[in-house]
Structure 1
Amino acid sequence: MSSYPEPRGGHPGSRASDPSDAPAPYAGPRSPAAGFPDGAPRPGGIWGAAPPDPSWLQGPGTAAENREAVPEPAWAAPTAATSTSQAEWEVTAAETTRRGPGKRRAGRDGKPVPAKQSGRAGRNLPAAIAVGVGLILAVLVSMVVWKPAFLGIIGLAVSVGIWEMVRALKVTGARPPLVPLIGGGLLMTGLAWYAGSDALELGLAATLLAALVWRFSEHKAGFRRDLVAAALVAVYVPFLLSFGVLLVKPDDGVSRVLCTLLAVVLSDTGGYAAGVFFGKHPMAPTISPKKSWEGFAGSVTAAAVGSSLLLYFMLDIPFGWGLLFGAVISVSAVVGDLAESMLKRDIGIKDMSNLLPGHGGVMDRLDSILFAVPAAYLLLSLIAPPG
């Protein structure tokens, strides 16, 4: 039998000689005044409560006397830093984790990281201009050096545009078949190049039939939804864009395409400048909040005046017809821009992709051109029929 006296205060797992001296059970979480606001971890270890009374290690004496002799643990001693109220503690934590207005995150060298620059219209204007000019130069060089290269550029734009549209529509749950759409889009551009507008319509019908058969063979739910989405993609991207192939076919096709593209650029630039400096009345706030009626007026004016000069010197078309051509192209471009903005807002995305800096995706750059090219083809066929 051990010669050590039995501790009077008892310890976990043993019988206390004096029941009144047994440690009190843990009464719950400490108050914020003790330095532990609600939600913060609390000591207790494997006991699941307050640490055991250490008085049984102190030798003879009452538990109360032994507890008085033991210093208070560091975690239980309230200090000025830990005696904050719950509300003050939450405010302090929020202030240390949230940057105030005007504060920027410091870089590795300690200097603040500059904020991303963008124009007043919400995009990087230098990058947008550089990409736009680069695309126009690529189209111009392809038409001047070797016309079939222009067909390759249209085919590439059709393929990327279809991929972006299919990718975007997947957000809504629709699954239009990608392979038959790209194959049909390339077929439409080829038929327009070699056989004209009648063959283009046959290419559209063949594309829709191929998408129907492909989707039917998958035996999945949502057949009608996916077929409607496939029809939207087939008409919106390759069918409309193939009119650019029809536009370049005549002997003066290079001038026709160039006048159309420059009219779209003038419309876009004029609307951007007028909207930035004079825009006050929103044109379609629920579709495109940045567009204004002042910007629309600037688009029509810039496109009409510029197109009258372009068509007169490049196609020998009178100024009056040039003004009409520019106004029609501007309206078509704005409608195309609004149509894609409405589509993207309905889907819930900002850009179709991020392939083109300052523009987003290929479809974000083609949105105005898709409606302008068929309008230009039809209007030029009336006022300047190809010889």
Structure 2
Amino acid sequence: MTPEPDAATGATPAEPRASRAGRNLPAAIAVGLGLLGIVGASLYFRPEPFVAFVVIALWAALWELRQAFARRGVRLPMLPLMIGAAGMEVSAYFSGPEAGPEALLVAFVLTVAASVVWRALDGSGTGAVRDAAAAVFAAAYLPFMAGFVVLMLSQPDGEIRVALFVMLAVAGDTGGYIAGVLFGRHPLAPTVSPKKTWEGLGGSVALATAVGVVGAVYGLNESPWVGVALGVLSAVTATIGDLAESLLKRDLDLKDMGTLLPGHGGVLDRLDSLLLTAPFVYLVLSVVA
């Protein structure tokens, strides 16, 4: 989720069909609706296909991260990371709501250990310590964070929890985009993403809070204040996650992490803020719902 387009790496006004905010809006809408359809269908019929969808998305994001890090001479050990990513998501779901968090943590530790050993035994070139550190970052940033979405799915009414999480992301993105384009005047973090504005953040909080209240009351039979907490928290953490990836792309001198999703960039460009938001939404719902 990106509450506002990333001007630090966004499209220029000269690009065809680009919106004022720098997105190819028709392509972005079509891809966004397609992804929502896949997520909705997988949640509606059986939860296992959703877990598989998460794993495939993580593999694509890991591949994009590998390509990006290679620009700075950093080599990620892909095989242990991809196996570990699948292991984290599968173990988090099939271990159930009680044992799921411990299973996710154990799978993460094993993935990190396997990645470090793999790179140490590789013996090719220099920079083994740097590559191992990058592997730890990749394992924590992508599959470990995404594991909290799968943990939500394993809980009672898991499909509703995940659907609410996704709708919070969509609402925050949409509210931030509209408010940023129409009213954005005051930059939020000009050195990282000049087009992100406080007005856009306000729009993201407002629409995410509205969706959170509706979802909490009618989906989970919880207090409206739970929805308020979810809306505010998801909008803020999503914005921080998006800014963090913008900072990473600036350091790597990249416009987008990839090109798999027209109008959005790469898979990681779509997951950036979702990853940081997932643990917080999981914690709130675990405590109150």
Taking structure 2 as the reference length, the TM-score comes to: 0.91
Once the two structures are TM-superposed, the CA of residue 217 in structure 1 deviates from its matched residue by 1.1
Greater Rg over alpha carbons, structure: 1
For 2:244, the equivalent position in structure 1 comes to 339
CA separation in 2, counterparts of 1:231 and 1:207? 9
What is the identity, as a one-letter code, of the residue corresponding to 1:320? Answer: W
Matches within 5 A, 1:238-257: 238-257=143-162
For 1:141, the equivalent position in structure 2 comes to 41
Residue 198 (structure 2) pairs with residue 198 (structure 1): no
Once the two structures are TM-superposed, the CA of residue 251 in structure 1 deviates from its matched residue by 3.0
For 1:24, the equivalent position in structure 2 comes to none
Q: Secondary structure at the match of 2:59?
A: helix
Query: What CA deviation, in whole Å up to 9, does each residue of 1:165-189 have, x standing for no partner?
Result: 1111111111111111111111111
CA separation in 2, counterparts of 1:345 and 1:351? 10
CA separation in 1, counterparts of 2:109 and 2:225? 38
CA separation in 2, counterparts of 1:312 and 1:127? 34
Residue 281 (structure 2) pairs with residue 381 (structure 1): no
**Identity within the alignment, %:** 44
Residue 73 (structure 2) pairs with residue 168 (structure 1): no
For 2:16, the equivalent position in structure 1 comes to 116
Matches within 5 A, 1:1-387: 116-195=16-95, 196-219=100-123, 220-384=125-289
Task: Determine if contact 2:94/2:154 at 8 Å carries over to the other structure.
Answer: no
Query: What CA deviation, in whole Å up to 9, does each residue of 1:290-323 have, x standing for no partner?
Result: 1011111111111112211121111111112211
Query: What CA deviation, in whole Å up to 9, does each residue of 1:61-98 have, x standing for no partner?
Result: xxxxxxxxxxxxxxxxxxxxxxxxxxxxxxxxxxxxxx
For 1:46, the equivalent position in structure 2 comes to none
For 1:87, the equivalent position in structure 2 comes to none
CA separation in 1, counterparts of 2:248 and 2:54? 23
Once the two structures are TM-superposed, the CA of residue 137 in structure 1 deviates from its matched residue by 1.4
CA separation in 1, counterparts of 2:207 and 2:77? 40
What is the identity, as a one-letter code, of the residue corresponding to 1:125? Answer: L
Structure 1, unmatched stretches of 5+, are 1-113
Once the two structures are TM-superposed, the CA of residue 115 in structure 1 deviates from its matched residue by 5.9
CA separation in 2, counterparts of 1:129 and 1:328? 25
Task: Determine if contact 1:188/1:239 at 8 Å carries over to the other structure.
Answer: yes
What is the identity, as a one-letter code, of the residue corresponding to 2:283? Answer: L
CA separation in 1, counterparts of 2:145 and 2:50? 16
Once the two structures are TM-superposed, the CA of residue 250 in structure 1 deviates from its matched residue by 2.1
Q: Secondary structure at the match of 1:291?
A: strand
Tell me which stretches of 4 or more aligned residues in structure 1 moved more than 4 Å.
Answer: none
CA separation in 2, counterparts of 1:133 and 1:115? 23
Task: Determine if contact 1:154/1:242 at 8 Å carries over to the other structure.
Answer: no
Structure 2, unmatched stretches of 5+, are 1-13
Whichever structure has more helix as a proportion of its residues is 2
What is the identity, as a one-letter code, of the residue corresponding to 1:140? Answer: G
CA separation in 2, counterparts of 1:223 and 1:356? 32
Once the two structures are TM-superposed, the CA of residue 378 in structure 1 deviates from its matched residue by 0.5
Higher relative contact order (CA 8 A, sep 6+): 2
For 1:73, the equivalent position in structure 2 comes to none
Once the two structures are TM-superposed, the CA of residue 266 in structure 1 deviates from its matched residue by 0.6
Task: Determine if contact 2:176/2:203 at 8 Å carries over to the other structure.
Answer: yes
Task: Determine if contact 1:181/1:230 at 8 Å carries over to the other structure.
Answer: yes
Task: Determine if contact 1:166/1:233 at 8 Å carries over to the other structure.
Answer: no
CA separation in 2, counterparts of 1:135 and 1:376? 21
Q: Secondary structure at the match of 2:71?
A: helix
- How many matched pairs? 271
What is the identity, as a one-letter code, of the residue corresponding to 2:252? Answer: I
Once the two structures are TM-superposed, the CA of residue 155 in structure 1 deviates from its matched residue by 0.9
What is the identity, as a one-letter code, of the residue corresponding to 2:35? Answer: L
What is the identity, as a one-letter code, of the residue corresponding to 1:251? Answer: P
